[in-house]
Structure 1
Amino acid sequence: MTKRSAGLLMFRRREQGIEVFLVHPGGPFWAKKDLGAWSIPKGEIAENEDGMEAAKREFAEETGMQPEGIFFALGEVRQAGGKVVTAWAMEGDFDPSTLVANTCAIEWPPRSGQKMKVPEVDRGEWFLLETAREKILKGQGVLLDMLLRIVN
């Protein structure tokens, strides 16, 4: 069965152009990864949960901010591992220094049987679209193009 996630791509308009807010996954596996590691705030859609509600919930869980405003459907993308991400865009602002993320338990090192608690995301940052294309997970890059169709 295909795993499904939902997320929000927050954007803001600046003199230099459109900026998007991305988050970096927490934990030791991602600690030294940067290019191609960032993501929109997103997470799994619970059984019988509305995708938009899941996207809002996940955004709040990964940033500490309750998303509000007008949401624009971007569509779906399939990531390399097969997960399908349904995304919406919203114009807004957020101070990354106030980010507070939920934690989750992971097995580390892999197949060791040892569990450790890590933040779902360890930081967030605003990026101009050109830089965001380098930072975002390859499978989510098309979301930036979908966003441009809406904001232009």
Structure 2
Amino acid sequence: MTDGTKRTKRSAGLLLFRRTPDGPEVLLGHMGGPFWARKDAGAWSVPKGEYPPQEAPWDAARREFQEELGVPPPEGTALPLGETVQANGKHVTVWALEADFDPADMVPGTFTMEWPRGSGRTADFPELDRVAWFGLDAARVAVVKGQAVFLDRLAAQL
């Protein structure tokens, strides 16, 4: 913004869940790109993305799901999991949706960045390099720390 004010970054996403005999599982995406390539714990995320002020968060969550996983979001009744503010200041709003998804069906969207940094070369990387189902305890270890609250909120609603 040209007036010197800082615009709050907002992100919205869909957290798929399914019920299993061992308890609920959630679908998380491993963040793509060179920074996350060798990380596991704390490198998984709800499929989500930023949206402009004029876009409704629910619409953004559905659009981002399709952009990141390459398939339309499933239909169903969404459970609102609310909003949280991550350590980087980004406001994240998430809905949970009960649905099954085969991780092999993912066709990841990509982003372009300079890599290696300072080299002047650009490369394309997947936004998410893979997705997987996690039980809630394993998901709490895998997910970015600021998003664990959504797992707790989902567990409370189930």
| TM-score (norm: length of structure 1) | 0.95
In structure 2, the residue matched to 1:116 is: 123
**Aligned residues with identical type, % of pairs:** 55
Does residue 91 in structure 1 map to residue 98 in structure 2? yes
For the aligned residue pairs, the C-alpha RMSD in angstroms reads 1.0
In structure 1, the residue matched to 2:28 is: 22
Alignment of 1:44-55 (within 5 A): 44-55=50-61
Amino acid at match of 1:22: L
Deviating above 3 A after TM superposition, structure 1's stretches of 4 or more consecutive aligned residues are: none
Q: 1:38 aligns with which of 41, 44, 49?
A: 44
In structure 2, the residue matched to 1:132 is: 139
Amino acid at match of 2:55: E
Task: Note the residue ranges of structure 2 that are not aligned, 5 or more in a row.
Answer: 1-6
Q: 1:81 aligns with which of 74, 88, 105?
A: 88
Give the secondary structure class of the aligned counterpart of 2:44.
coil
How far apart, in 2, do the equivalents of 1:81 and 1:109 lie?
23
Amino acid at match of 2:99: G
Amino acid at match of 1:97: A
Task: Note the residue ranges of structure 1 that are not aligned, 5 or more in a row.
Answer: none
In structure 1, the residue matched to 2:148 is: 141
In structure 2, the residue matched to 1:2 is: 8
* Count of equivalent residues: 151
Q: Which has the larger radius of gyration?
A: 2
Q: 1:128 Cα shift?
A: 0.3
Give the secondary structure class of the aligned counterpart of 2:45.
coil
